[in-house]
Amino acid sequence: MSQNRDGFTSTFGVLVATLGSAVGLGNIWKFPYLTGTNGGASFLVVYLMATLLVALPVMMAEIMLGRASRANAVTAFEKLAPKNQKFWTVIGYMGLVSAILILAFYTGVAGWVFAYIFKSLSGSIHSTDPATAKAAFGAMVSNPVQALMWQWVVLIGAGIIIMLGVSKGIEAVAKKLMPLLFLLLVLLCIRSLTLPGAMAGVKFLFAPDFSKITAPVVLTAVGLAFFKLSIGMGTMLTYGSYFRQEQNIPATATRVMLADLSVSMLAGLAIFPAVFAFGFEPSAGPSLVFMTIPAVFASMPLGNVFMAIFFVLAAIAATGAILSILEVPVAMMSERFGFSRKLATLISVGIIGLFGVPAMLSSSLTADWKLFGLNAFDLFDFISSNILLPLGGILICLFVGWVYGLPQLKKQLSNEGQLNNDLLINAVFVLVRYVTPIIITVIMLKGLGAF
Ligand code: PFF
């Protein structure tokens, strides 16, 4: 089976597709809103540290496990773990649960983005007034039919693309559009930064107030770092399984991390100056981007047109990420249970749609359904980002650090000695064997209130 696996066709294709998974609503929607609700600059500092010390080593380890096993996230651990340690496959199964929980709300938010393409063109969201923006967003999310309909548009679209296969489907979509999104974000930043009163937003983003850092804030930053880089749940492992043998894994992971970070920073610089210039609430939560972005566009010439283009690109970025998450259950079902890709896609989309119902009705019919004080939308996000992904990260580190071992790690990350990167590999090894799992464990326990 492994010889016939579809794969990426070029080094550049690998980079862009991996980036296509990393860059998405996490950058444009989640990063700004969490930065806003968790204190601004101080959150950014913690987030940066989490990305470097925790997320980057996990990313390298995960991609490597994929390429070494050329398999989905469950089979990979079956192949690489010693015969009597099959329990490591739990990492793959946890990833399956994360994939479903994430997609239940992520496809819904992608649906809001699709809806905003049309709203941009109709002019109904063209306003710099916080009250109007809030009402427009509220009307959409509290209408059960709209909320579910747009989610299904996304689910069906993604299902169709996935059925077309790995290299054709994913590469083709991801390749073309990233640079354009980047350009539009730069344009947005320029407009936002030149608004009167913009400096307050820059200060919010870059002048840290360390008193705002609490244990739950740190856990949220770690969860975001995992979410942003698509790690801890087997997505990067699955992508790694399509990597070419000569691909430089540490370099690719570092580049993806840096590019992903730049997109987030641009999104932050596009949003926060405008938040303060127009008097929005930085801690508005999931609605922040959907209110602020239209306001920035409304204050530039041809704003409607640019705004529609922006939401088209954001929708495509979201689709790239969605495809990569869907690939986890689809690859698993087709390779493990022998289902056709088509059937595996249909089953996955059906289950996600089912979980999507309570998540997307959280502002209307299911608003009172709460567990631990969280509605379904927030709960699915919390369980996946703040518990399952970091837990997956700990297990991946322990597996690589204590079971897979240094000699194998060296062989893989140096491409059998072809790359001269011994020092780096030793550092990655110390991180994944000791530092990273300990840091994540302490942060998780403290962030969840265990001590
Ligand atoms: N990294 C994506 C984003 O930032 O939008 C979201 C994501 C993709 C999370 C793939 C997890 C994943 F496995």
CB 52 within 8 A of CB 253: no
Mean pLDDT of 258-268: 96
pLDDT digits (tens, 9 = 90+) for 23-43: 999 999 999 999 999 999 999
pTM: 0.94
Mutate to test the pocket of ligand 1, among 102, 178, 332 (most ligand atoms within 8 A of CB): 102
CB of 25 closer than 6 angstroms to any ligand 1 atom: yes
Q: What percent of the chain has pLDDT over 70?
A: 97
Mean pLDDT of 131-149: 94
pLDDT score recorded for residue 190: 95
- Cα 250 from Cα 411, distance rounded (Å): 13
* Statement: residue 175 has pLDDT above 70: no
* Concatenated DSSP letters of 71-86: S-HHHHHHHHS-TT-G
CB 356 within 8 A of CB 198: no
* Statement: residue 256 has pLDDT above 90: yes
Residue identified by tokens 């427009």 is 136
Give the number of other Cβ atoms within 10 Å of residue 279's Cβ: 12
If you average pLDDT over every residue of the chain, what do you get? 92
Phi, psi of 374 (to 5 degrees): -110, 140
- The total domain count for the chain is 1
* Statement: residue 298 has pLDDT above 80: yes
pLDDT score recorded for residue 2: 44
pLDDT score recorded for residue 1: 40
Show the tokens assigned to 93: 């199964």
* Statement: residue 268 has pLDDT above 80: yes
Task: Residue 176: give the domain boundaries.
Answer: 2-447
CB of 21 closer than 6 angstroms to any ligand 1 atom: yes
pLDDT digits (tens, 9 = 90+) for 272-296: 999 999 999 999 999 999 999 999 9
Phi, psi of 230 (to 5 degrees): 55, 40
* Statement: residue 436 has pLDDT above 50: yes
CB of 314 closer than 6 angstroms to any ligand 1 atom: no
pLDDT digits (tens, 9 = 90+) for 366-396: 888 999 889 999 999 999 999 999 999 999 9
CB of 18 closer than 6 angstroms to any ligand 1 atom: no
Show the tokens assigned to 319: 């689709």
- Cα 349 from Cα 345, distance rounded (Å): 6
CATH number of residue 19's parent domain: 1.20.1740.10
pLDDT score recorded for residue 362: 92
Query: Distance, CA 277 to ligand 1 centroid (Å)?
Result: 30
pLDDT score recorded for residue 32: 98
Q: With left for phi above 0 and alpha for psi between -120 and 50, is residue 384 left, alpha or beta?
A: alpha
